[in-house]
Amino acid sequence: MNSPFVKNIPLLDVNRGNAPLREEFIEALTRVVDSGRFLFGPDVQQLERSVAERCGVEHAIACASGSDALLLALLALDIGDYDEVIVPSFTFFATASAVTRVGATPVFVDIEPATFNLDPACVKAAITPRTKAIIPVHLFGQCADMSSIMSLGLEHNIPVIEDAAQAIDAKHGGAAAGSMGAIGCFSFYPTKNLGGMGDGGLLTTNDPKLAERLRLFAAHGMNPRYHHKVIGINSRLDTLQAAVLNVKLKHLQEWSAARTTNALRYHEGLAANHDLGLPIALQGNEHVWNQYTVRVPNGQRNAVKQRLTEAGVGCEIYYPIPLHQQECYRSLGYRTGSLPETERAAAEVLSLPIFPELTAEEQYVVIERLEEALAPRRAAAA
Ligand SMILES: *Cc1c(COP(=O)(O)O)cnc(C)c1O
């Protein structure tokens, strides 16, 4: 094997990103400890203002997680029993579970193979009189085809909720992820591009009435104190998390740029390899590369993943089982083959390390070891 001096390369190394900011974190956290304002402290408001400004929206509402953000969006839009919500099946579970949790039915539709995002033609075909929302997911850091999806929403008077958990700072036609639909949902889970030291989430909207409802539902539906207007939940962002996120937010732009540089390096290094499908950023999209996800066709993906792991390269399958094929959704009655592009993606995808601090040298090693994993006999014979 070449490059014996580079050892294991992790899929993600949060410590490399956090270590240089250690002193700043301690200062910010100490301020919160001393203030005693562990909830609704000034850091929470500062984070809300900063994210609203970055996204170009009027309102941002912090909450406890990205999953809660999705749930709150559906509650605020009054979606519940007998309603249908169109979602991709090729996404993280929370996109659909929030729909089921409010009593509505997720309607799973297929994706565009080039971007892994909702196919607008499939969305259109799935609209019924019961459709009460569409939730496009900006998967892996690239916006879904929001121009087409927003037109469908407008035409049929259906609100669009953006699942922007993986796509903070991504753009579509110049508009930021989370600023195009009625509501945008973000996550600060540690693996996201803006990751906290625990759970966190945030909602964006331009509609002042929706903003008020989102805050109401996140606070037990209570306003004023001990007067409950609706059945809400308890979903708050800790001031400690907000303090950490405010420190990190200042670096988000440079981190996204580093991810883009890394993506270009993989493109160049892997372009000649015809055993692989490479991810692309569509024209008009600013991709923020939460994941760099290749396709390994011909049933070879699991073997390649195993060899790459054994060679010390962290890699992961996002996502191995589409949601329409999950045990908990069996009762919805989707058959194998009903969402062919989703099922093919689940069988082919493999995400490689792309975190901002990954070095060029490490990437060359990833490329080399991936090529060996793709053609082990060829490499052994050489
Ligand atoms: C991470 C993620 C969520 C959930 O966010 P949490 O903060 O982990 O609850 C929802 N949707 C997508 C697409 C995600 O990647």
pLDDT above 70 for 77: yes
| pLDDT at res. 7 | 84
- Tell me whether residue 275 is exposed, middle or buried, using C-beta atoms within 10 angstroms of its C-beta: 0 to 12, 13 to 18, 19 or more: middle
Amino acid code (one letter) for 194: L
How does pLDDT run across 5-29, given as a tens digit for each residue? 668 999 999 999 999 999 999 999 9
184 lines ligand 1 (CB under 6 A): no
Other Cβ atoms within 10 Å of 371 Cβ, number: 18
3-state secondary structure of 88: strand
Whole-number Å distance between alpha carbons of 100 and 115: 26
Encode burial over 240-253: b for 16+ CB neighbours within 10 A, e otherwise: bbbbbbbbbbeebe
Domain ranges of the chain: 17-249, 252-381
3-state helix, strand, coil in the chain (%, to 5): 45, 15, 40
Is there a common fold for 17-249 and 252-381?
Answer: no
Condensed to tens digits (0 to 9), the pLDDT of residues 110-164 reads 999 999 999 999 999 999 999 999 999 999 999 999 999 999 999 999 999 999 9
Average pLDDT over all residues of the chain: 96
pLDDT at 4: 57
How many angstroms is it from 173 CA to the middle of ligand 1?
24
Residue 65 Cα: closest atom of ligand 1: 7
Position of tokens 């294991």?
8
Ligand 1 atom nearest the C-alpha of 67 is: 9
The mean pLDDT value for 43-69 works out to: 98
**3 state SS of 235:** coil
Whether pLDDT at 294 is above 70:
yes
Which ligand 1 atom lies nearest to the CA of residue 199?
7
Count the neighbouring beta carbons within 10 Å of the beta carbon of residue 364.
15
Does the pLDDT at position 349 exceed 60? yes
d(C-alpha 288, C-alpha 166), whole Å: 9
Ligand 1: which atom is nearest the Cα of residue 192?
1
- Asked whether the predicted pLDDT for residue 379 surpasses 60, the reply is no
DSSP character string of 46-79:
HHHHHHHHHHT-SEEEEES-HHHHHHHHHHHTT-
CA Rg value for the chain:
21
- The finding on whether 92 has its CB within 6 A of some atom of ligand 1 is yes
pLDDT digits (tens, 9 = 90+) for 83-108: 999 999 999 999 999 999 999 999 99
Q: State in Å: Cα 365 to ligand 1 middle.
A: 30
Per-residue pLDDT, 377: 66
For ligand 1, atom 1, the nearest C-alpha belongs to 165
- Average the pLDDT over 23-36 and give the result: 98
What local confidence, expressed as pLDDT, does residue 376 receive?
80
Tell me what the mean pLDDT of segment 353-375 comes to.
97
Fold of 252-381: Aspartate Aminotransferase, domain 1 (3.90.1150)
Hey, what are 47's tokens? 């984070």
Is 166 close to ligand 1, i.e. is its CB under 6 Å away? yes
Mutate to test the pocket of ligand 1, among 97, 166, 236, 318 (most ligand atoms within 8 A of CB): 166
pLDDT on residue 5: 63
| DSSP classification of residue 111 | B
Q: 92 C-alpha to center of ligand 1: Å?
A: 6
pLDDT band at residue 1 under the 50/70/90 scheme: very low
Overall pTM surpassing 0.85 (yes/no) = yes
Angular region, 289: left φ>0, alpha ψ -120 to 50, beta rest: left
Q: Out of 92, 97, 188, give the residue to mutate to test ligand 1, the one with the largest number of ligand atoms within 8 Å of its CB.
A: 92
Structure confidence at residue 91 (pLDDT) = 98
- Is residue 311 in contact with ligand 1, taking CB distance under 6 Å? no
Could you tell me if 242 and 44 are in contact, meaning their C-beta atoms sit under 8 angstroms apart? yes
Ligand 1 site, residue 137, Cβ cutoff 6 A: yes
Cis before 319? omega within 30 = yes
Q: In what order do the strands lie in the sheet with 84-88?
A: 105-109, 84-88, 131-134
Measured from the CB, is residue 64 less than 6 Å from ligand 1?
A: no
Q: Does the beta carbon of 201 lie inside 6 Å of ligand 1?
A: yes
Give the number of other Cβ atoms within 10 Å of residue 361's Cβ.
12
Contact 195, 14 (CB under 8 A): yes
- Please, what sign has the CA dihedral across residues 84, 90, 94, 97? positive
Mutation test residue for ligand 1: of 65, 67, 99, 241, the one with most atoms within 8 Å of CB: 67
As a whole-number percent, the residues of the chain with pLDDT over 70 amount to 97
Task: Give the CATH number of domain 17-249.
Answer: 3.40.640.10
CA 228 – ligand 1 centroid, Å: 28
pLDDT the model gives residue 381: 53
Tens of pLDDT, residue by residue over 192-238, are: 999 999 999 999 999 999 999 999 999 999 999 999 999 999 999 99
DSSP one-letter string for 112-138: -TTTSSB-HHHHHHH--TTEEEE--B-
Whether the CB of 352 sits within 6 Å of ligand 1: no
H or E segment to which residue 379 belongs = helix 376-381
CA atoms within 13 A on the CB side of 3: 18
**Cα angle for residues 55, 11, 179 (degrees, 5° grid):** 10
- Give the distance (Å) from ligand 1 centre to CA of residue 150: 22
Residue 378: per-residue pLDDT: 59
Cα 176 to Cα 56, 134, 167, 247, 359, distances in angstroms: 7, 18, 9, 21, 28
Instruction: Name the phi and psi angles at 321, rounded to 5.
Output: -125, 115
